[in-house]
């Protein structure tokens, strides 16, 4: 009997951090680096349900920054 393996899809989104410099140090703006890795076992998955779940997760995470 063969063993079936489902390899999840993996998405990585990355943005490097940066600092916008100014003549006045108090006006410098920092943007932190950001890396998001999402692994999805999408075998027989309803893509609309998956999209709703991802939106819900990111909405909750972004809520921490309000």
**Residues 35-49, mean pLDDT to the nearest whole number:** 83
Asked whether residue 63 carries a pLDDT value surpassing 90, the answer given is yes
Return the domain boundaries, the chain: 9-63
User: Which distant-in-sequence residues (6+ apart) come within 8 Å of 28 by Cβ?
Assistant: 19, 20, 21, 22
Determine the average pLDDT of the residues in 44-53.
87
Percentage above 90 pLDDT, the chain: 15
Give pLDDT, residue 7.
60
For the beta carbon of residue 42, count every other beta carbon within 10 angstroms: 13
The string of pLDDT tens digits covering residues 7-34 is 668 888 888 888 877 787 777 778 888 8
């Amino acid at each position: 009997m063969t063993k079936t393996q489902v390899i999840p899809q993996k998405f990585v989104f990355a943005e490097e951090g940066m600092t916008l410099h100014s003549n006045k140090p108090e006006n410098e703006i920092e943007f932190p680096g950001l890396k998001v890795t999402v692994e999805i076992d999408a075998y027989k998955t309803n893509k609309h349900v998956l999209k709703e779940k991802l939106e819900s997760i990111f909405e909750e995470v972004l809520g921490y920054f309000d």
